[in-house]
Copies of this chain bind each other. A is one copy, B any other.
Amino acid sequence: MDNRPLGIFDSGIGGLTVVRALHELMPHERLIYLGDTARVPYGNKSADTIIRYSREISNFLLSKDVKGIVVACNTASAYALDTLKAELQVPVFGVIEPGVSAALAATRNNRVGIIGTIGTIKSEAYQSALKKQQPELEIIAHATPLLVPLIEEDWLSHSATRAILEEYLWQFRLMKIDTLVLACTHYPLLKPTLTNLLGHNIELVDSAESCARFVRDALAKTNQLSDANDESSIEVYLTDMPVHFKKVGERFLRKKLHKVDLVSVDGLSSTQRR
């Protein structure tokens, strides 16, 4: 057993849906989250920039003595995961592999849709991982950059949100997909509206939930789950304090946020590893 905390990071607040899923599945694990809100979003940044940011944040989390790092950001998982896995001494988990496995387990007709930020879709990380495991899969991937700001505005079932989703989704209907991968950690909040629009015949793959299950199984296998008995703490660090953070963050986490600490970007890049 290993009672050190788990580190989780995202470009912003979206990764809090992964924190929520981890906490619901493993309430005894201490979780330390860093949201890089000073430099959000990563979705429109270059690969080099994203790798540099991810390395800085991982060093910050390692300075907190984490036993593993969850890259709770699809863009960073797409561009930086291999680098982090090669460089770090602790296990590193992304959101893509779990989402890909869940999609392959869910589809019956081998037609899978993917929605995500421009960066995630353009990286083709999901597309190539899916194709690698199931070459005959038909995949339709579409960047849906309006969904993050709609979710942060809390317009989850607004008529404009429905109009935008209709525009984004018609191609998926035409292709008769039976599985839609939500390849962005913000998107789980749109699940009720998506189900309402798509019906129950299209399975939604929630990358936060599939990631949490993947991490739990991996920690169990290496005997690294915590044996604490009490419900554990969630520590949240941000590189900048967004307006309305408490309200929006609690919506993502589905829990009260008791303590949020700021860490400067300069502080991040000068953090020494333990």
A residues with CB within 8 A of B: 37-40, 44-46, 49, 118-119, 122, 145-146, 148-150, 152-153, 155, 158-160, 163-164, 167, 240-244
- Min CB gap A164→B, angstroms: 4
Q: Which residue of B lies closest to A167 (CB)?
A: B160
Contact present for B49 and A240 (CB under 8 Å): yes
Query: A45-B242, A160-B164 given. 10 additional CB < 8 A pairs?
Result: A37-B44, A39-B39, A44-B242, A46-B240, A122-B243, A145-B149, A160-B160, A160-B163, A160-B167, A163-B163
**Complex Cα–Cα for A160 and B161 (A):** 8
In the bound assembly, the distance between CA atoms of A240 and B48 in angstroms comes to: 10
Chain B nearest CB, measured from A121 CB (Å) = 10
Q: What residues on B are CB-neighbors of A244 within 8 Å?
A: 118
Q: Give this chain's copy count.
A: 2
Once bound together, how far apart are the Cα atoms of A155 and B122, in whole Å?
20
Kindly report which residue of chain B lies nearest to residue A158, judged by CB atoms: B167
Instruction: Check if A153 sits within 8 Å of B159, measured CB to CB.
Output: no
Contact status A119-B243, CB under 8 Å: yes
| Contact B163–A153 (Cβ < 8 Å) | no
List residues of chain B with CB within 8 A of the CB of A148: 149
CA distance A101 to B102 in the complex (A): 57
For residue A152, which residue of chain B has the nearest CB? B145
Q: How far is the CA of A230 from the CA of B116 in the complex (A)?
A: 46
Q: What residue of chain B has the Cβ atom nearest to residue A37's Cβ?
A: B44
Instruction: Return the contact of A45 from the options B38, B119, B159, B167 (Cβ within 8 A).
Output: B38
Closest chain-B Cβ to A152's Cβ sits at a distance in Å of 7
Which of chain B's residues has its CB closest to A144's CB?
B153
The residues of B that contact A240 with a CB separation of less than 8 Å are: 44-46, 49
Instruction: For A161, give the chain B residue with the smallest CB separation.
Output: B160
**CA gap between A40 and B46 in the complex, in Å:** 13
Q: Give the shortest distance, in Å, between A249 (CB) and chain B (any CB).
A: 13
13 of the cross-chain contacts (CB-CB < 8 Å) are: A38-B39, A38-B49, A40-B44, A44-B243, A46-B241, A118-B243, A119-B243, A145-B149, A145-B153, A146-B149, A146-B153, A146-B160, A160-B160
Q: How far is the CB of A148 from chain B (nearest CB, A)?
A: 8
Q: How close is A262's CB to chain B, nearest CB, in angstroms?
A: 9
C-alpha gap A45/B41 in the complex (Å): 12
